[in-house]
Structure 1
Amino acid sequence: MPQMQQNEKPVRPEQKQNQQPGIESAMVPAPESQPRASSAVPKLKNKVALITGGDSGIGRAVALAFAKEGAKLAICYLSEESDANDTLEELNSMDCDAIKLSGDIGDEKVCRELVKKVIATYGRIDILVNNAAEQHPQENFEDISAEQLERTFRTNLFSMFFLTQAALPHLEKGAAIINTTSVTAYRGSSSLVDYSATKGAIVSFTRSLAHALVKRGIRVNAVAPGPIWTPLIPSTFDADKVATFGSDVPLGRAGEPNEVAPSYVFLASHADSSYITGQVLHPNGGEIING
């Protein structure tokens, strides 16, 4: 009888086959090979999702993709009322039960209030998408002020701590947390040092939180988009840079938000990604970042 290593726990009956590649019918228990969910059943049917930055860009695309899969939605935004109204109208046209909530997620009290409103409306949260972010290019590192540094970290990183802490009492086994990081977390950006630093921290946050919550049955993953055509781009860069945005990746163009959204659907679906936690998906136009 083989000896188990210390801390190694038996998870299958002891068994051995003497010929490769082996016979599946002889395995006990048999491997589960049938699809985990029917394609006829929406992947997120009746799940409640809270999405920050859900008014536009990647957040809007994720909201629409979740709605298509049967989720109920709360989209959070800062102050872009017209975008939020457009997104809500589109969700309603899909017969999606959805609400919009505004507030500065860099403020811990606001995060608690957002969660309270979602619970008051739906009674639960099944999926938390920490997506909202801001960036402020500085060609000279010395020009990053203390105010900018704090603001970027509050919006991009502190908010994830605040919202997760507020939502956690309402997340049950099978829930999913999905954080938006960035390709800049892996390759850096000379003009977005503070932004890239937050995105690197989000990767570590995701991996550590996944370990912290694994025994509760809550999966934590992230998505690291490359150059994606969102309102953040023309509101960040000058016209010349916008004109060539994304042209330096192998696919030669910026991605669209709806090319990123399926990554979030996959990570939100327990049927599809039940064996994935602490990981990062990379819809980035072909850039190899080894992360």
Structure 2
Amino acid sequence: MTKLIDPKILINAATRTINMEREAIEVLTQRIDDTFIHACELIMNCKGRTIVTGMGKSGHIGNKIAATLASTGTPAFFVHPGEASHGDLGMITSNDVVIAISNSGKSTEILTLLPLFKRMGIPLISMSGNPHSPLAQTADVHLDISITSEACPLDLAPTSSTTVTLVMGDALAIALLEARGFTAEDFAFSHPGGALGRKLLLKVEDIMHKESEVPVVTLTTPLSAALVEMTQKGFGMTVITDSDGKLAGVFTDGDLRRQVDNGINLGTAIMKDVMTSTPKTIHQDILAAEALAQMETRKITALVVENSENNVIGIVHMHDILRAGVI
């Protein structure tokens, strides 16, 4: 039979952990000083990549820091210090900068690499909880990630220390992002496979219907013929152009319902009498996400796509945007 656990014990332990880790993070703000600026400058001036290394839990956090740096404009990757001593050191060049993470500052696998970094002339940034450790003393810049105690009641399992390390890494990444003028489009280029990339990079011209797919009639086209064009093209609307081929208006299923309610003669009406002469349009270079936002705001399902000469070049429908994964 499973032993019952007092819920209060679970809640108290969780609350205590969160509070301790929050307090540890708050102390970090006092350490964002000239040493932090120096670390940022070393990375900004690096002609190669930022190499992050660390053992154990520090390694797991270092892997994430490297990934965050890489996705926010700072070329970076993680190197396991144990593997570096057995060949992977060849991945590191003299143009790189190293961020070495060790809470104690005494990890043997990392200390083994320090003379090699110095011989290669590689700038070294340490992240350690011990400013007097061999790692901190050897580094060109030491970022203090010390804590009062771990959230673990035994003060053994890395908890508060790994959280503080991760936050310091995020602080570096975001400071560098802003210093580089890194944009949302830059971010999307490093995330092209996901929904984020599709949302940020996909433009109207990439998904719009064009040429023969676009329903088009003229000002003098009978309403009955326009309804046939709308049915054949399947957008629930048609574009109306003038004698010069310029956009004159649109006619939608909603317009048809309103005209029927007004008693229009479907057999004799022509498009210039029933169309909406101020259609909602969009340019082909606009992001698909913006087109979707306009549709939602205006409560419509399609937009006419124009070029700079006011010529109709396509139709973009809400379903096209949603199918493309822009949500």
TM-score by length of 2: 0.30
TM-score by length of 1: 0.33
Which structure is richer in relative contact order (CA contacts within 8 A, separation 6 or more)?
1
Q: Which has the higher strand share?
A: 2
Q: Which has the higher helix share?
A: 2
